[in-house]
Amino acid sequence: MRNWMDITFTPSVKAAQTRRGSRDGYARMEAKGTTRTFVDEGLAEFIANTRSFYLATASGDGQPYIQHRGGPPGFLRVIDENTLAFADFSGNRQYISTGNLDENAKAMIFIMDYRMRRRVKIWGTAKVVENDDTLIEQLMPDNYVARPEAAMVFTVNSWDTNCPQHIPLMVFAEDVEPLAERVAALEAENARLRKQVAVNRP
């Protein structure tokens, strides 16, 4: 199975690396190789907590397209060490990703974790599975309000991580709301106690 450097370091990329002075370092990295050609325990844990990612596809003539996918933690499923899958929820019904995959199976998943300032890039191929109600039902998150139209099955070729440089630190609103409610309750209790102290002060 090809690793991410074999996939991405085309002759023109290597020429750019040479021109900008990073080729020697990446050549040493290529010589060492990588084991990131399957879903290991660390990646599986990262994916299990994923609520949002971007799916990149391209048409037959190379026109790129990126689509956001979101859902509750775990909506992107690890099927086995080489396969990911998720329910394809009904949206604006443009079907650009679906059409692209019909003529060009190459795809990429890009996952950003803004809370922990981590990102993962996964290269592979993908296919849309329609009219398989059993699979679609298995991939549908419990109690999630959405209508699945198909299943997306992604075969992992290789993956890599990026450094946290320039990733803004952000959190999900639903994670902050309980804290905001707790702060409001504490402020109300503090105000009540201060008023009680003032009343009882000689």
141 and 180 both lie in a single domain: no
* pLDDT grade for 70, boundaries at 50, 70 and 90: very high
d(CA 87, CA 79): 13
161 and 183 both lie in a single domain: no
* pLDDT grade for 202, boundaries at 50, 70 and 90: low
* pLDDT grade for 1, boundaries at 50, 70 and 90: low
133 and 158 both lie in a single domain: yes
127 and 50 both lie in a single domain: yes
161 and 192 both lie in a single domain: no
pLDDT at 37 over 70: yes
126 and 161 both lie in a single domain: yes
The mean pLDDT value of the chain amounts to 91
d(CA 137, CA 135): 5
| Sheet of strand 148-161, all strands in order from the earlier edge strand to the far edge | 64-70, 52-58, 106-113, 118-129, 148-161, 83-89, 77-80
Residues 6+ apart with CB under 8 A from 188: none
148 and 80 both lie in a single domain: yes
53 and 117 both lie in a single domain: yes
* pLDDT grade for 55, boundaries at 50, 70 and 90: very high
119 and 175 both lie in a single domain: no
pLDDT for residue 183: 78
Full residue range of the structural domain in which residue 21 is found = 1-34
Least confident of 36-45, 49-58, 123-132, 156-165: 156-165
pLDDT for residue 133: 94
Q: Is the pTM of this model over 0.85?
A: no
Q: Read off the pLDDT of each residue in 49-73 and give the average, rounded to a whole number.
A: 96
